[in-house]
Amino acid sequence: MIDRYALPEMANLFADAARMQRWVDIELLATDAQERLGVVPAGTAAACRAGAPVVDSGFVAAVADRETVTNHDVAAFVDVLQRHIGMPAGAYIHHGLTSTDVVDTAWCWALRDASNLIIDELEKLIDVATDLARAHRTTLMIGRTHGIHAEPTTFGAKVALWVLQLRRDLARWFAARDAVSVCKLSGAVGTYSNIDPSVERFVGESLGLVPVPATQVINRDRHAEFLWACASLGTTAESIAIELRHLQRTEVNEVREGFSRGQKGSSAMPHKRNPISAETITGLSRVLRGNLQAGLQDVALWHERDISHSSTERIVLPDSAMLAFYVTRRLRNLLANLEVDAAQMRRNLDLLNGVVYSQSALLALVENGKSRDDAYRIVQELSRRSLESGQHFRDVLVSSLDVDLTKESIVSIFDETRVVANAGRAVDALDD
């Protein structure tokens, strides 16, 4: 992942040193368990821990150098680790294990921790969005369908629906975290041929991971579920971002991204104030969905294992975790600093001189005895007349010979509080 989108707390989980430190920890825990079983000589585990190196850039470089000989990253890692520990204790590192025991358990450990970071950030985003929805519970604006003015709604109702979708993403994240919080140390084809199942249980309990039946690899539907959670969250963020981009367009101008002191919207045009956060979120969501496709293709492997998934996962798993985390934080900051122009919302609501109440007029005519089709045609024509003349729709209705409504009915048609009386249900749902 490029540095621009790699926030340090998430990026650090996937750094080479962090990855190899997890490998060391798993190897040491497995040695602890095997000594308890009497498989390795007494004192071996303590000697291995005493000799275990600090996993730093030097250690990573030594493994990379050794890999030029072994052409196998885990084999190179084991060689370097054994060399640091020394003999005879070092000979028992990786005893009874296959490389995927270490790699898959380490992957799941990292993805579990990544899930926790994303869940925490998502909960903060939900809090910010919830506050925004409640603050604008009664802020009137025009609702749009197909990009065209439809009927009044409230900005609070719009944001509340975002929150409810983000909460569903949160539920998906809890499920994804459970799916990847597993481990396997069951040997070459998953049959525990040279390692006791109690070793797996001991390592799992030590790391907070659940042992699961497996072949040589943990089933990749779990990893695909993690990538689905990333992609789903990114898609939700994109749907919010696209709405904000539309609402910030010059012709609409109902919301604006926060603009910090000294910020520049364009290198050429000083007046520009662009929705760059929303556009960035939109773009990164495309990457997340693309990575999901690769993850889904990784589920089908040959027999008890192949490594067609391995090269893919080295890219898509860390990149998706980092992007999902980045997008969530970027959206939280966007909503926390969002400028909502209620006065402009009011102006846009009134832009079409009341024709947005056409459905209310239609229903009033039906209730007054006209057939629906006749009422529809009357209101359609009067709406056209209002739009073309610039005359308020109310006045057009009152002057029409085809409309025989009481003064009270006319007033009710244009009563905006009646139209949005139940719009707050979406905001109320946030308390459920």
146 noted as active-site residue: yes
- Classify each residue of 75-103 as buried b or exposed e, where b means 16 or more C-beta atoms within 10 Å of its C-beta: bbbbbbbbebbeeebbebbbbbbbbbbbb
Instruction: Select which of 57, 72, 193, 266 is catalytic.
Output: 266
* CA separation, residue 171 to residues 5, 10, 123, 182, 316 (Å): 25, 21, 11, 19, 22
Closest CA to 84 of 100, 60, 106: 60
Between the CA atoms of 113, 50, 74 and 179, what dihedral angle is there, to the nearest 10 degrees?
-20
Residue whose structure tokens are 């609070």: 156
For 356-379, give the DSSP string: GGHHHHHHHHHHTT--HHHHHHHH
3-state secondary structure of 107: helix
266 noted as active-site residue: yes
Q: Alpha-carbon distance 32 to 341, whole Å?
A: 63
Q: Alpha-carbon distance 167 to 151, whole Å?
A: 27
Helix 308-336 with 99-135: angle, nearest 10 deg? 20
* The two three-digit tokens of residue 421, written as one number: 């009386």
Q: Alpha-carbon distance 273 to 266, whole Å?
A: 8
| E strand or H helix at 10 | helix 8-11
Q: Which residues are CB-neighbours of 159 under 8 A, at least 6 positions away?
A: 129, 132, 133, 136
| Residue 53 DSSP one-character state | P
* The two three-digit tokens of residue 57, written as one number: 């850039």
Asked if 251 contacts 332 with a C-beta cutoff of 8 angstroms, the reply is no
Ramachandran angles phi, psi of 186, nearest 5°: -120, 10
Asked if 80 contacts 59 with a C-beta cutoff of 8 angstroms, the reply is yes
Give me the active site residues, please. Answer: 146, 266
